[in-house]
Amino acid sequence: ILNVEQSPQSLHVQEGDSTNFTCSFPSSNFYALHWYRWETAKSPEALFVMTLNGDEKKKGRISATLNTKEGYSYLYIKGSQPEDSATYLCAFKGPNSGYALNFGKGTSLLVTP
């Protein structure tokens, strides 16, 4: 079982604030790092799949960076909106784990108007 840590556990920001959270994972035997957005009463939806050190991906106001040498990824949300309220999950995949993902516990984000 590979240890994937996410911080903070929860976050409460005001509409318009920019925010970021961290995912830490084993720096050895890396294959891919996934980010998912999980709204209450819905199913997780894939945001990004990152495989290369230094990768930076962007989808609208959300972006993510990847540092495989030190074992961390950051997720950034610029100008948070109430509809960004969700739990953000990261998941690690090693080269020998086939398709299986090891998920972190998630960061719960609440954006209030």
Residues that bind other proteins (CB under 8 A): 1, 4, 31-32, 34, 36, 42-49, 51, 89, 91, 93, 98-106
Would you say 17 or 24 has its CB closer to other proteins?
Answer: 24
For residues 8 and 15, the answer to whether their CB atoms sit within 8 Å is no
Cβ at position 37, least distance to other proteins in Å: 11
Cβ at position 19, least distance to other proteins in Å: 21
The b-or-e profile of 73-103 (16+ CB within 10 A means b, else e) is bebebeebeeebbbbbbbbbbbeeeeeebbe
- CA distances, 111 to each of 3, 9, 50, 82, 97 (Å): 28, 15, 26, 5, 35
Cβ at position 56, least distance to other proteins in Å: 17
Task: Find how far residue 83's CA is from the centre of its chain.
Answer: 17
- Which DSSP category does 69 fall into? T
Would you say 44 or 71 has its CB closer to other proteins?
Answer: 44
Cβ at position 87, least distance to other proteins in Å: 10
Would you say 98 or 113 has its CB closer to other proteins?
Answer: 98
Would you say 80 or 108 has its CB closer to other proteins?
Answer: 108
